[in-house]
């Protein structure tokens, strides 16, 4: 895998110098500033340093170069003045646009999609995650091979080159298509193993909770708060890439699973959605989704809309959702107005909020589960212990006259405990 930065810069421990470019049009004017700010954050996440930001206002982007001849000459001058290593456009470029701009500048030119794919390549840890990212990158770069060879031959590594690497990208289309076929086959095997694990959890009557949300909303911090999972949790975009499923024993004794997923982002590349289908399948089978939202984000509403739209696109629309507004320590609670319901406002960094969050999750679970009432003999201790692990036990009373336990609670509708109640 190609390194994060070129060899010379690696020796000097320097970051690549990046110029970010954005065109404000009639279509994107509402979120343009936030989108450019996000592009800078993405660039820093990819270990680059933004040395200049070039923006332009026009009714629509230029068909050939996105920014037009005059602005392109300005970009050439700025690239020379700042000794830029790479130019990153805040738009998805067509193969022809990329080729024309690249030829004019003589340095590496990538777009927002390629940058996000690059960060995913940097973040992938598991075999499945690496395969999924490589598949997305190859699918994205396949139509962009024409004219890429001479530019790729002098890249020497850096932002936009992680993953498949130069030698693979310089290979012919047939080789890359064969590689895509091999990766898809390997992913099918991994997906089959994941499906077996998922079915095993379902047959075990385990309640499954999934975490979704905009990148950097605090999903990993929430899962760490609840489960002490010690997952990677930093103030970075896409800090978590590989899905993580952990068991969580609630205070009442019930054991559920919590799955952390990759963060969503505005204009999430379709190549990634396609590549991560097996991972996303994990979330489709959840009994409850916790939509984690950064309550302190200046563009919170846009984040919410992005995630909600993607959830619809990914067929999550039928799964019950509890919105967890996180980072309340960074806002004025009196001025905060929630827009998604039902919800709970917490700070994952404040220990006392753990009980508030657990209580709200428990309430939501009880709305989704079915009530049961059972009588277990005093000699059925193992069944009672199993009942406490698999259900929410509301009350447990020992009746001396009958020498039995009277237990009331809530369980999954298809569980044996509810069936026994109905019998």
Query: Is 136 labelled as part of a ligand binding site?
Result: no
* Tokens 């009432």 sit on residue: 373
Query: Is 238 labelled as part of a ligand binding site?
Result: yes
Query: Is 326 labelled as part of a ligand binding site?
Result: yes
- Residue 74: both structure tokens together: 């300005």
| CA 211 – CA 332 distance, rounded (Å) | 25
Query: Is 29 labelled as part of a ligand binding site?
Result: no
Query: Is 317 labelled as part of a ligand binding site?
Result: no
Residues shown for the chain? 423
Query: Is 241 labelled as part of a ligand binding site?
Result: yes
Query: Is 329 labelled as part of a ligand binding site?
Result: yes
Query: Is 377 labelled as part of a ligand binding site?
Result: no
Query: Is 214 labelled as part of a ligand binding site?
Result: yes
- Residue 79: both structure tokens together: 């690239």
Give the Cβ contact number of residue 10 at 10 Å.
Answer: 14
| CA 218 – CA 212 distance, rounded (Å) | 10
Query: Is 323 labelled as part of a ligand binding site?
Result: no
Query: Is 262 labelled as part of a ligand binding site?
Result: yes
| CA 37 – CA 48 distance, rounded (Å) | 14
Query: Is 347 labelled as part of a ligand binding site?
Result: yes
In 3-state terms, the chain is what percent helix, strand and coil (to 5)? 45, 20, 35
Query: Is 203 labelled as part of a ligand binding site?
Result: no
Query: Is 216 labelled as part of a ligand binding site?
Result: yes
Query: Is 89 labelled as part of a ligand binding site?
Result: no
Q: How far is CA 228 from the centre of its chain?
A: 20
- Residue 190: both structure tokens together: 């991994």
Query: Is 84 labelled as part of a ligand binding site?
Result: no
Query: Is 294 labelled as part of a ligand binding site?
Result: no
| CA 39 – CA 33 distance, rounded (Å) | 10
Query: Is 80 labelled as part of a ligand binding site?
Result: no
- Residue 127: both structure tokens together: 């075999």
Query: Is 354 labelled as part of a ligand binding site?
Result: no
Query: Is 217 labelled as part of a ligand binding site?
Result: yes
Which among 35, 36, 66, 40 has a CA at the least distance from the CA of 51?
A: 40
Q: Which residues line the annotated binding site for GTP?
A: 213-220, 238-242, 260-263, 326-329, 347-349
Q: Which residues line the annotated binding site for Mg(2+)?
A: 220, 240
Q: Which residues line the annotated binding site?
A: 213-220, 238-242, 260-263, 326-329, 347-349
């Amino acid at each position: 895998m190609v390194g994060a930065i070129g060899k010379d810069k690696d020796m000097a421990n320097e970051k690549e110098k990046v110029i970010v470019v954005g065109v404000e049009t009639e279509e994107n004017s509402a979120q343009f500033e936030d989108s450019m700010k996000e592009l800078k954050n993405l660039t820093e996440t990819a270990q680059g340093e933004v040395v200049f930001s070039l923006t332009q206002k026009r009714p629509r982007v230029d068909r050939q170069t996105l920014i037009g001849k005059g602005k392109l000459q300005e970009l050439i001058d700025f690239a020379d003045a700042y000794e830029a290593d790479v130019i990153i456009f805040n738009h998805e470029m067509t193969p022809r646009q990329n080729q024309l701009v690249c030829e004019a500048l003589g340095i590496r030119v990538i777009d927002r999609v390629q940058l996000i794919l690059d960060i995913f390549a940097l973040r992938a840890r598991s075999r499945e995650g690496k395969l999924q990212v490589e598949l997305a990158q190859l699918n994205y770069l396949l139509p962009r091979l024409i004219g890429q060879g001479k530019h790729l031959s002098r890249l020497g590594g850096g932002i936009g080159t992680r993953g498949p690497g130069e030698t693979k990208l310089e290979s012919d289309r047939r080789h890359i298509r064969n590689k895509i076929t091999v990766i898809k086959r390997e992913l099918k095997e991994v997906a089959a193993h994941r499906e077996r694990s998922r079915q095993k959890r379902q047959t075990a009557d385990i309640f499954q909770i999934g975490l979704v949300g905009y990148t950097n909303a605090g999903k990993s911090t929430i899962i760490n708060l609840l489960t002490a999972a010690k997952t990677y949790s930093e103030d970075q975009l896409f800090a978590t890439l590989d899905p993580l499923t952990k068991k969580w024993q609630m205070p009442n004794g019930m054991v559920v699973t919590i799955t952390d997923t990759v963060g969503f982002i505005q204009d999430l590349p379709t190549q990634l959605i396609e590549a991560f289908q097996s991972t996303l399948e994990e979330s489709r089978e959840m009994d409850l989704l916790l939509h984690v939202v950064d309550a302190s984000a200046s563009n919170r509403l846009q984040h919410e809309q992005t995630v909600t739209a993607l959830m619809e696109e990914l067929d999550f629309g039928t799964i019950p959702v509890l919105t967890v507004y996180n980072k309340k320590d960074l806002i004025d609670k009196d001025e905060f107005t929630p827009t998604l319901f039902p919800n709970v406002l917490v700070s994952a960094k404040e220990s006392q909020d753990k009980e508030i969050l657990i209580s709200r999750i428990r309430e939501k679970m009880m709305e989704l589960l079915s009530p049961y009432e059972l009588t277990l003999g005093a000699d059925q201790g193992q069944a009672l212990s199993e009942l406490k692990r698999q259900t929410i036990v509301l009350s447990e009373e020992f009746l001396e006259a009958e020498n039995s336990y009277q237990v009331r609670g809530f369980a999954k509708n298809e569980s044996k405990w509810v069936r026994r109640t109905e019998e």
